[in-house]
Structure 1
């Protein structure tokens, strides 16, 4: 999701930085007088964080998982929720408790990518491993290969200096 960014510099603001989405724009508020390179980095980070928070509130994961489970004949989870703690995985599934966690980083990605990760985790409710049966279930999603490529590219972006 690309939104225009408004940067508001304040002489009264000394240490705190804040960002939020309103009226289709990201507003980043920060102290006046920061070095340009530091400001640019902070604006980018805070805008991304604000967009993630905003976008994640726009997707009802439980409803989405239920819809995908029905459409692809997969079981529904006990619960599914966003996770801010998943930094190296896109999603995780506990087969015992039937709970799924989805990395909040997916909130800003295209819906078809999020759908693929949800389907992947729903398939783990049937098969705990990535064997042939699991692969057959996941392959039902027509955009799966494209979504997987998208996520590989995103992961590589994160590892670049």
Structure 2
């Protein structure tokens, strides 16, 4: 079951086997959760602010190193990334940042966003990728912050049952900083 926006329309997917009463109860809850998530995003700065920041980071950090760089087509906050801080799909130039980054310092959010932007130039975690990312003055500091944050979170909740990679669109190899090893 899920709810998402398709333009101005809210789309809700539920199993066909549900009764009408169950369906209505779940639809109401999913729509309420979606609207609350959108309200939080507006209150904290939404996707438009992320796109603006992405373009600034491109101009400041990547254009001087590689010349002209096409900006991402979309940069969004997402709530479904529990093991990654961000992910990028270079083929369609989309970037997703975990909403867990929202309360973190701006220089940490910038590092993760820049990490994903570098994937638009260099899809894999190659030596060139690391050289481009190393130009960000706070890269080591931000990686340390994220590693410390992830370690503290694991101490609070304990290790996940399966600490291996997940199968799914946001956990493909080389698509973003992971909690266990950002920037590697």
Looking at structure 2, the residues matched to 58 and 101 of structure 1 have their Cα atoms a distance apart, in angstroms, of 10
Partner of 1:99: 94
Output one character per residue of 1:76-100: Cα deviation in whole Å (capped at 9) or x when no partner. Answer: 2111000011111000000111100
CA distance in 1, matches of 2:48, 2:75: 12
- Determine which of 111, 117, 120 is the counterpart of 1:122: 117
Q: 1:58 to 1:81 in 2, by over 3 A?
A: closer
Aligned length: 111
Equivalent position SS for 2:148: helix
Between 103-112 and 123-132, report the one with greater CA deviation: 123-132
Richer in helix (by share)? 2
Q: Say if 1:82 and 1:104, in contact at 8 Å, map to a contact too.
A: yes
Matches within 5 A, 1:70-89: 70-74=59-63, 75=69, 76-89=71-84
Residue 59 of structure 1 deviates from its aligned partner by: 7.7
User: What secondary structure sits across from 2:95 in the alignment?
Assistant: strand
How large is the Cα RMSD of the aligned pairs? 1.9
Within the candidate set 49, 53, 56, 1:60 is matched to 49
Q: What is the TM-score normalised by the length of structure 1?
A: 0.64
Structure having the larger proportion of residues in strand: 1
SS in 2 for 1:101: strand
- Deviation of 1:149 after TM superposition, in Å, equals 0.3
| Contact 1:55/1:108 (8 A) holds in 2 | no
- Residue 85 and residue 59 in structure 1: after superposition, are their counterparts in 2 closer, same or farther (change >3 A)? same
The answer as to whether partners of 2:47 and 2:76 remain within 8 angstroms in 1 is no
The alpha carbon displacement at 1:129 in A equals: 1.1
8 Å Cα contact 1:116/1:143 also seen in 2: yes
Q: Distance in 1 between matches of 2:47 and 2:121?
A: 28
> Which of 71-80 and 83-92 deviates more?
71-80
Q: Secondary structure at the match of 1:128?
A: coil
Q: Which runs of 5+ in 2 are unaligned?
A: 1-36, 64-68, 157-184
Specify every segment of 5 or more residues in structure 1 that has no aligned partner in the other structure, as ranges: 1-48
Match of 1:157 among 134, 152, 159: 152
